[in-house]
C-alpha cells in the first residue's frame, strides 16, 4: 500500500441535518462547514457551499440570529444516468446566534468558487448617554 501523506485532505461526507420545519422542496439539507473568527472590529464567517449561486444564497440576520440558506440546482441534465454517486446535492442551511451587536448596514458578503466570506462589523461602542429622570 502506498504511503499516505499525513497532510492529505480526507473527504468527509457532508453533514446532513434534520430541518426543524418541514421543507417545501424535497431533498436533503446539509450543514455547511464553517470557520468563524473574530477581531476587535468584526466577526468573519467562512462557509463552504459548493454549487450555490449568488442569487440562490440567502443571508438573514434577525434579532441576533444569523441564518444562511443556499439552494443548489442539480447540475445534471435529465438524460444523464448515474454511474457512481458519492455525494448528494441539497440545500445548505445553518443558523448561528451572535452574541455581539452587528452593524447590519455594513455586513459584506462575498461568494467565490463556492465559498462564502461574510464580514460582519461590530457596532461602534455606543456613547454613554445620561438619562435624566423628570419629576413632576
Binding site for other proteins (CB under 8 A): 4-5, 7-13, 33-40, 44, 46, 48-53, 75-77, 79-88, 111-115
Say if CB 68 and CB 92 are below 8 A apart.
yes
Say if CB 70 and CB 56 are below 8 A apart.
yes
Say if CB 33 and CB 48 are below 8 A apart.
yes
Closest approach of other proteins to the CB of residue 112, in Å = 8
Closest approach of other proteins to the CB of residue 48, in Å = 4
Closest approach of other proteins to the CB of residue 118, in Å = 13
Query: Between residues 31 and 133, which has the closer beta carbon with respect to other proteins?
Result: 31
Amino acid at each position: 500500500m502506498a504511503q499516505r501523506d499525513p497532510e492529505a485532505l480526507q473527504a468527509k461526507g457532508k453533514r446532513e441535518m434534520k430541518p426543524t420545519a418541514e421543507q417545501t422542496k424535497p431533498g436533503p439539507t446539509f450543514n455547511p462547514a464553517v470557520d468563524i473568527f473574530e477581531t476587535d472590529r468584526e466577526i468573519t464567517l467562512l462557509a463552504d457551499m459548493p454549487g450555490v449561486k449568488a442569487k440562490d444564497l440567502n443571508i438573514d440576520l434577525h434579532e441576533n440570529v444569523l441564518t444562511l440558506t443556499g439552494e443548489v440546482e442539480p447540475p445534471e441534465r435529465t438524460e444523464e444516468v448515474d454511474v457512481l454517486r458519492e455525494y448528494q446535492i441539497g440545500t445548505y442551511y445553518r443558523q448561528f446566534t451572535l452574541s455581539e451587536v452587528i452593524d447590519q448596514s455594513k455586513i459584506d458578503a462575498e461568494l467565490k468558487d463556492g465559498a462564502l466570506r461574510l464580514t460582519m462589523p461590530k457596532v461602534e461602542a455606543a456613547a454613554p448617554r445620561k438619562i435624566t429622570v423628570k419629576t413632576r
